[in-house]
Amino acid sequence: MKKLILFIIFSSFLFSFNYFTIKKADNYFKNQEYLKAAKEYLKINSQKALLNAANSYYKAGKYKEAIKLYDKINDKKLQFDKLYNMGNAYANLHQFQKAITFYKKALKIKKDKDALYNLKLLEKFLKKKKQKNNRNHKKNKSGKNKKEIKNNSKNQKSQSKQKKSESNKIKKEINPQKTQDIREKFYERELNSLEFKTLLIPLKGEQ
């Protein structure tokens, strides 16, 4: 009888603790105090609370921390949300191949238009990036061939013009390199400027 009474008291205490902790965490989340929300959710021993904590880290821009928590979720009912949100987190870390992998895993569980949209978005982006890289490679290769022809032509000039020829050669070698550096910086800037937070459909399983 005593054990039963103690069990009832403990259960009541645990219920009250979880209720007020969840309420506190939800308020932090609504007020966009995501790190405080995550801390409160982690006090609750449930898979749903773990998902909420991971989502809170995600909202705070702590994508690596969010991924670690998502990875701990093993509830089958939450697997789609877990995988989809991990895809979003990896996308925001610019680890696009991993993001694509998790979107595909999520879509195996459930056909979802948001997951499909995000998947197609990243695949399209990587395809364009690859095409740009291929074009740059061809341009660089063509530029090198032209430079080699010019250099061979200059080597056939007389010794009296050798110094001038070498000077022109150095200039022609430096200028394409500068152009390439500028081009690379442009594409790097373009990549970094992509705001995937606005392009990607939001999280799943938000409270």
Question: What pLDDT, on the 0 to 100 scale, is given for residue 43?
Answer: 93
Using CA atoms in the order 153, 157, 161, 167, what is the torsion angle rounded to 10 degrees? Answer: 20
Question: What pLDDT, on the 0 to 100 scale, is given for residue 138?
Answer: 73
Give DSSP secondary structure letters for 159-197: GGGHHHHHHHHHHHHHHHHHHHHHHHHHHHHHHHH--HH
Question: What pLDDT, on the 0 to 100 scale, is given for residue 191?
Answer: 46
For residues 16 and 25, what is the distance between their CA atoms, to the nearest angstrom? Answer: 14
Q: Where are the domains of the chain?
A: 125-193
CA nearest to 206, candidates 63, 84, 44: 84
Question: What pLDDT, on the 0 to 100 scale, is given for residue 103?
Answer: 96
**Burial of residue 12, with CB atoms counted within 10 A of its CB: 0-12 exposed, 13-18 middle, 19 or more buried:** exposed
- Local mean pLDDT, 10-residue blocks, the chain (207 residues): 52 58 90 95 94 95 96 96 96 95 96 92 88 77 61 59 56 51 55 51 77
